[in-house]
Structure 1
């Protein structure tokens, strides 16, 4: 797998160590497999609210576990996007887009739970139309999404919403718990169904996988296929990492679990969900380039972070929308990229072998069924 696509090699194309031979490498380079194209769209992530109505123990915006053992873990500081901050965000974005030579803008509504500030979401998208907005998406827990609000956001450019599930209904309700108490599974399903009836929004369903819920994921897939319209849903399976807040995922990167990941992908595809083929790790437009060349993560108070994972966390700010990015010598130790703060029980070689096994099995399946297109 490379930035430019996927190639299937035969044994003769590999060295005894399993790497491509020099001639195979040259041929793959000629085919463009290693070619990375610069982004054409500026990617702006904005936290409209740092608060959340759920108390998920693994959330990277927690600062520790709930000391009482309940569902109210301490979180990053409260901040809420205002009209004044939106002005700063969009003017900052205009300057950064000009510097990168980009004219098109994508906005990701993020939190906390972004819909705890619906006015901020609406105003940001409405005003971003004058700055080259071509599309918008949102990461939400889905508990506050109503047909009225979804229709308003869709009219302002929102195209898709990512929502997370944590296993079958019973397990999900034990993990994704309201801070006020009570489960969320049925409410999320109901909201997706109602919004789907009145808007064209697409759904990116993220299925978290941990030692607490992997046994119920097969049942979850069947339930989601029965209750939702799979043709409007993309699905991904995400390993819950340990971000150093006292919530450790005890799963190990075993061959058996790699087989499960493959089976879940295959089953989701057979049920009618969209499941993306495995891809090489591409540079993130937001956090993989020096000083956020092609994108930015902005907290609700206007401070800048390099990545979602550090937004709103004290000591991790790399600038502000008013003053721009700090000098690189001041940010090099706090500039993180996607998954940099995730820790696993196994070493890097075990993680890589696990991913290779799960990805190769799914790629073989796609090839065998005629789904692996250039």
Structure 2
């Protein structure tokens, strides 16, 4: 792809499988486009092109390589992925929440029996397979509502893993309202690698969207908690973006840029998404993916200008969606097992119970049969290594049963130029 006119005839070359990005001159670009092999085999850049896997000396089917890696990764047994909801309860009443689990299920946190069943499930996995790693994602509901239960279970898991010389890593998704310095220290000592906290724009917009049950705003308390905790646990700030709050994002970034914790946290943006019917507070408030591809790039450009820590470069992951991986489950507080975070609380998607394992039936097979390599529009797409077929549950719920294309399909070229100029600076 050509850089702007100030690039003086320079071009970028990119491989979406390896994530290799390089700068080349016009004559090499034209030789590649025109398949001028006599030039290519004698050019001084040949060795670099081969090392970067932009060129192969012998025919290589990259699609076949990816599909084999996809299958191998999907059925691997060396890593167990657990997502655990210690409670359906939440102290927030966010306007766009697709879960609304407190309303759906009533007050429900996991019992001592469910906690014991989780430990038994892990023990069985340790004994039945050559397990080397365990990753645990704590979410909800709001997991910090059950801080004592969560930390006790983390400690028990860590003890079990250490006895078997198995690595274990914990992550958490929280609204951040109940995070304190002392809790951050405890979580750090128990092996929490990072915590994701959501802030949806400036104070005015955030406090319209992410409120307590009594409709009180939450912005100030979350900011205080981030400041108090960021020295002890890594914090990723997520900002959900839609038509209702996009205009406030620059003001919000100005505010973050003035905070003393600016360099200690990461920030990223995500579209408010209609995962299921009625998932967005209003379908009209959600960006279409193609439209959002331009919005998100603009947001990252502004974030970089304001000195915020960002990461906006794609990477190849053989299996993007944990729901379609064999050794990955989501455990509800009532013990029912799901494959996907987005279906929690929906009994129609349950695939088993933690007390007696996963059922081998069509519900389970539905997830394990989903493959982007069976979908023609994915197989022929140059960004398949980055997208991986997207969200399986969105595909299941869509009218045409097709996956929703990711933003890279629409903004890859501009995104790569953005990262190139970051490297220049």
Q: For 2:321 and 2:290, how far apart are their aligned partners in 1?
A: 32
- Aligned residue in 2 for 1:154: 188
Of 61, 68, 86, which aligns to 1:48?
Answer: 86
Structure 2 residue aligned with 1:320, among 353, 359, 375?
Answer: 353
Report the counterpart of residue 303 of structure 2 in structure 1: 268
Is residue 279 of structure 1 aligned with residue 315 of structure 2?
yes
CA 1:33–1:24: 2 relative to 1, 3 Å: farther
- SS of 1:315 mapped into structure 2: helix
With over 3 angstroms needed to count, the CA separation of the structure-2 counterparts of 1:325 and 1:231, relative to structure 1, is: same
**Tell me, what secondary structure is at the counterpart of 1:204?**
strand
* Shift, 1:345, TM fit: 11
Cα deviations across residues 219-275 of structure 1 (Å, max 9, x unaligned)? 112212222523322222111112213623424448765333112112323414131
- Seen in structure 2, the aligned counterparts of structure 1 residues 214 and 14 have a Cα distance that, compared at 3 Å, is farther
Residue number in structure 1 paired with 2:146: 117
Provide the C-alpha distance between the structure 2 equivalents of 1:215 and 1:24, rounded to a whole number of angstroms: 50
Q: Is the 8 A contact 1:44 1:286 kept in 2?
A: no
Which of 113, 120, 130 is matched with 1:84 structurally? 113
Asked if structure 2 preserves the Cα contact closer than 8 Å seen for 1:160 and 1:204, the reply is: yes
Asked if the contact 1:265/1:362 (under 8 Å) is kept, the reply is no
Determine the C-alpha separation between the residues in 2 that align with 1:84 and 1:4: 46
Matched, 1:5 2:25: no
Query: Cα gap change, 1:22/1:310 in structure 2, threshold over 3 Å: closer, same or farther?
Result: same
State how far apart, in whole Å, the 2-side matches of 1:269 and 1:99 are.
47
Greater mean alpha carbon deviation, residues 164-173 or residues 98-107: 98-107
CA contact 1:143–1:187 (8 Å) conserved in 2: yes
Residues 227/295 of structure 1: CA separation in 2 closer, same or farther (3 Å cut): same
Tell me, what secondary structure is at the counterpart of 1:79?
coil
Deviation string, structure 1 residues 263-301 (Cα, Å, up to 9, x no partner): 211232341413141235641473122xxx332211112
2:217 is matched with 183
Task: Give the SS at the match of 2:194.
Answer: strand
Q: Offset at 1:200?
A: 2.3
Instruction: Give 1:183 shift.
Output: 0.9
In structure 1, how many angstroms separate the alpha carbons of the residues matched to 2:290 and 2:338? 37
- Counterpart CA distance in 2 for 1:47 and 1:28 is 41
Match status 1:94 vs 2:128: no
Q: CA deviation at 1:357?
A: 3.2
Question: Higher helix share goes to which structure?
Answer: 2
8 A contact 2:337–2:352 mirrored in 1: yes
Corresponding residue of 2:293:
258
1:164 matched to 2:198:
yes
- Which residue does the alignment assign to 1:70? none
Unaligned runs of 5+ in 1: 16-20, 64-72
TM-score normalised to the size of structure 1? 0.81
Q: Which residue in the other structure is 1:218 paired with?
A: 250
Query: What CA distance in whole angstroms lies between the structure 2 residues aligned with 1:304 and 1:249?
Result: 29
Question: Is the contact made by 2:175 and 2:197 (CA closer than 8 Å) also made in structure 1?
Answer: yes
Aligned equivalents of 1:203, 1:159: Cα separation in 2? 9
Query: Gaps (5+ residues) in structure 2?
Result: 1-14, 35-53, 162-166, 371-388
- In 1, distance between residues paired with 2:255 and 2:419? 24
Report SS of the residue matched to 1:274. coil
CA displacement 1:101-128 (0-9 Å, x = unmatched) = 2222121111100011111111111001
Residue 104 of structure 1, aligned match among 109, 121, 133:
133
Contact 2:267/2:310, CA 8 A, preserved across alignment: yes
Task: Give the superposition deviation at 1:100.
Answer: 4.8
Aligned length: 354
CA gap 1:103/1:181 in 2 versus in 1, 3 angstroms: same
2-structure distance, mates of 1:41, 1:287:
14
Instruction: Quote how far apart the aligned CAs of 1:43 are.
Output: 1.8
Mapped contact 1:145–1:191 kept (Cα < 8 A)? yes
Match of 1:355 in 2: 408
